[in-house]
Amino acid sequence: MEEKIAYMSKKFEEAGFAFSDNQKRQFYIFYEMLIEKNKVMNLTGITEFEEVVEKHFIDSICLNQVVNLDKKIKILDLGTGAGFPGIPLKIAFPEIKIVLMDSLNKRILFLNEVIEELGLKDIVTVHARAEELARKTEYREQFDICVSRAVANLSTLEEYCLPFVNIGGQFISYKSGEVDNEVEESKKACYLLGGELKGVHKFTLEDSGRSFVMVNKVRKTPKTYPRKAGTPSKSPLK
């Protein structure tokens, strides 16, 4: 364990992060819980410790390159899956308030175990589909930032995510380095949903190209969006 924590500390420092012993312990316990649960349910294809640190933990917390996370902002992690980027963001930046949303209850139950074990505060889970949750007034246009690492077309993600963002807030999508065509093709959807492309921030992580696509929320999202369950992914707005 000590060797792994030392390796993790080195990698965090190389990426520009300095964490307390407790934060490092939380990251390590999360890793152990992830790998253990992954034996009985499909949470991640990345299981080697070094890869989890680089491709899950550091990738998740690199959001601080484009957003100030040292304050009490309200974030929705949509389609959180195994808890990425939400759990690493909460460990790294304790001031943020975060909601983890996923459509599979088994994943939500696992994340509740993680939250309890790590003693995290101001973080809750919601079992729901985005198309349904976005209709609820307590969630619609209530977040400063909506993030998603989910693998989906950018137009689809905008339809899922922008309805949750308050005017003046942002939707930020975690993407690979090759994102230019996707951004171009999503411009109409962005406009229809009340968004405005702020920009694309590209960076390299362990020789892999990564991008943050940043969309500002400038107008209310029309009530017709998101469309009924399944439609945004089957027929992205064009």
| CA–CA dist 189, 185 (Å, integer) | 8
pLDDT at position 203 over 90: yes
CATH number of the domain bearing residue 83: 3.40.50.150
Total domains, the chain: 1
Asked if the structure places residue 19 within a domain, the reply is no
| CA–CA dist 10, 3 (Å, integer) | 11
- Nearest alpha-carbon partner for 150 in 164, 163, 161: 161
Both structure tokens of 228: 């009924």
Asked if the structure places residue 9 within a domain, the reply is no
Both structure tokens of 145: 């930032």
Give the tens place of pLDDT for each residue, 68-126: 999 999 999 999 999 999 999 999 999 999 999 999 999 999 999 999 999 999 999 99
What does residue 183 show for φ and ψ, rounded to 5 degrees? -65, -45
Asked if the structure places residue 130 within a domain, the reply is yes
pLDDT of residue 207: 83
* 86 contacts 100 by C-beta, under 8 angstroms: yes
Asked if the structure places residue 108 within a domain, the reply is yes
Asked if the structure places residue 52 within a domain, the reply is no
pLDDT of residue 143: 98
| CA–CA dist 88, 74 (Å, integer) | 15
Asked if the structure places residue 61 within a domain, the reply is no
Which of the four pLDDT bands, split at 50, 70 and 90, describes residue 238? Answer: confident
pLDDT of residue 55: 95
Give the tens place of pLDDT for each residue, 81-95: 999 999 999 999 999
Q: Residue 230: CB partners within 8 Å, gap ≥ 6?
A: 131
Give the tens place of pLDDT for each residue, 133-178: 999 999 999 999 999 998 899 999 999 999 999 999 999 999 998 9
Q: Which domain holds residue 77?
A: 68-234
Asked if the structure places residue 38 within a domain, the reply is no
| CA–CA dist 16, 12 (Å, integer) | 6
Asked if the structure places residue 45 within a domain, the reply is no
